[in-house]
Structure 1
Amino acid sequence: MRTTDLSRIDPSRHLLIAGPTASGKSSLAMAVAQVQGGIIVNADALQIWSCWRVLTARPDIKDEATAPHRLYGHVDPGCSYSVGDWLRDVEPLLNQRLIIAGGTGLYLSALTRGLAYVPPTPPEYRDESDRILARDDGLAQLVGELDERTRERIDTRNPVRVQRAWEVWRATGRGLSEWQADTPPPLVDETQSQRLVLQADRDWLADRIATRFAQMVQSGALAEARHMQPFWDPAQQWARAIGAPELMAHLAGKLDLETATERAIIATRQYAKSQRIWFRGRMRDWQAWPVGPQN
Structure 2
Amino acid sequence: MIGHVGSFVSAPVAFIAAQNVAKGGRVQPPESCLPVIRLDQIDPKRHLLIAGPTASGKSALALRVARAQGGLIVNADALQIWSCWRVLTARPSPEDEAAAPHALYGHVAPGVTYSVGDWLRDLAGLLERRLIVVGGTGLYLTALTQGLAYVPPTPSEIRAEGDARLAAEGGLARMVADLDPATRDRIDIQNPARVQRAWEVLAATGRGLADWQADTPPPLVAPDQAQRLVVTADRDWLARRIALRFGQMMQHGALEEVRAMLPHWNPGQQWARAIGAPELVAHLRGQMDLPTATERAIIATRQYAKSQRIWFRGRMKDWSPVSADAENTRND
Shorter-chain TM-score: which interval?
A: over 0.9
What does residue 167 of structure 1 align with? 200
Matches for 1:197-276 after TM superposition, within 5 Å: 197-276=230-309
Q: Which runs of 5+ in 1 are unaligned?
A: none
**Structure 1's 119 and 217: CA in aligned 2 closer, same or farther, altered over 3 A?**
same
- Could you tell me which residue of structure 1 aligns to residue 17 of structure 2? none
> Letter of the aligned partner of 1:93 in structure 2?
L
Quote the residue 1:116 is aligned against.
Answer: 149
Alignment deviations for residues 103-134 of structure 1 (CA, whole Å, 9 cap, x no partner): 01111101101111111121222233334455
* 1:16 equivalent among 41, 49, 70: 49
Deviation at residue 213 of structure 1 after TM alignment:
1.1
C-alpha contact 1:15 1:193 (8 A) present in aligned 2: yes
Partners in 1 of 2:190 and 2:259 — Cα distance? 32
Cα contact 1:39–1:70 (8 A) shared by 2: yes
Cα distance per residue 1:200-247 (max 9 Å; x no partner): 111111100011112212211111111111221111111111111111
Instruction: State the Cα RMSD in Å.
Output: 1.9
Contact 1:200 1:292 in 2 (8 A): no
Task: Tell me if the contact between 1:201 and 1:292 (Cα under 8 Å) persists in the aligned partners.
Answer: no
CA contact (8 A) 2:232 2:321 kept: yes
Query: 1:154: Cα distance to partner?
Result: 2.2
1:102 aligns with 2:124: no
- Match among 104, 113, 118 for residue 71 of structure 1: 104
Aligned residue for 2:216? 183
When the two structures are superposed, what TM-score results if normalisation uses the length of structure 1?
0.94
Higher-Rg member (1/2): 2
Per-residue deviation at 1:2? 5.0
Q: Indicate the structure whose relative CO is greater, using CA pairs within 8 Å and at least 6 residues apart.
A: 2
Amino acid at match of 1:5: R
How many residue pairs were aligned? 295
Q: Is the CA contact 1:204–1:292 (under 8 Å) kept in the aligned structure 2?
A: no
State how far apart, in whole Å, the 1-side matches of 2:181 and 2:307 are: 25
For residues 230 and 143 of structure 1, the distance between their equivalents in structure 2, rounded to whole angstroms, comes to 40
* SS of structure 2 residue aligned to 1:209: helix
| 2:69 is equivalent to residue 52 of structure 1 | no
